[in-house]
Amino acid sequence: MSTVIVTGTDTGIGKTVFSAGLTAALGAQYWKPVQSGLEDATDSQIVAALSGQPVLPETYLLDLPASPHLSAEDMGIEIDVTRLALPQVQGPLVVEGAGGLMVPLTRKAYFLDLFAQWQKPVILVARTLLGTINHTTLSLMALRNAGCPVVGVVFSGPPEPAVEETIIQMSDVAHLGRLDWIEDLNRDTLANAFQSIDMDRIRSAL
C-alpha cells in the first residue's frame, strides 16, 4: 500500500482541492479520518465529486466547525486516537488531515502525533499570501523534528516567486508546484491545473 499524507499550514488554504487533484492523478482512494463541521459539503464529498475516485468513510464525523477536540467535546465524546490507524486498501491512499499540524485531536494529542506514528510521506500545502514564510517554515520544522518524511511543499494561490524561493532555499525542501485559485472548479479544470504539479517526484516518494 502506498500512502501519502496531505496537511497544511492553516485551514481554508486549498488543501482539500489539492487532495482531490492528487487522488485523481494517482488513481487513489481518499480518507479524511476526522471531519469537523457538517453544515456544508464534507471534504470527502468534495473530493469524491472532484476526483471521481473512491472515498473511505470518516472515522469521526463531528457537527461543530471547530478544532476536532472541541467539536468532539461539544458532542460529549472524546476522539480515540487508537481508532485512527491507517486503513488497509489496495493501491494508493491519500489521507488528508484537518487544518494544520498542531490541530488538537484530544487535549493530549495533535495531528502531528498521528502523522509521526504513521511514518508515511507528507506533502505540505502552503498559501502564497503574507505570513506564509513563517507558517511554512514552522510547519516544516515541526514535521522534521517529529521524524516525518517530507515530500515537499505545494503552494496554493497567486504566484509569489520570491516568497516561494525563499521557503524552498531556506528550508531545503522540494517545490512540488503551485495551484492557483480555480474560479470554475470542476473535475476537468482541476485536472488541467494539476499539470503544474510535480507528480514524478510525488510518485517516487511513495
Catalytic site residues? Answer: 32
Q: Give the H/E segment covering residue 24.
A: helix 15-26
Q: Please compute, for residue 178, the number of CA atoms within 13 A of its CA located in the half-sphere on the CB side.
A: 16
Residues 6+ apart with CB under 8 A from 106: 69, 72, 78, 79, 81
> How far, in Å, are 51, 87, 88 from residue 149 at the CA level?
25, 19, 20
Residue that the C-alpha cell 467535546 belongs to: 73
The three three-digit cell numbers of residue 36, written as one number = 469537523
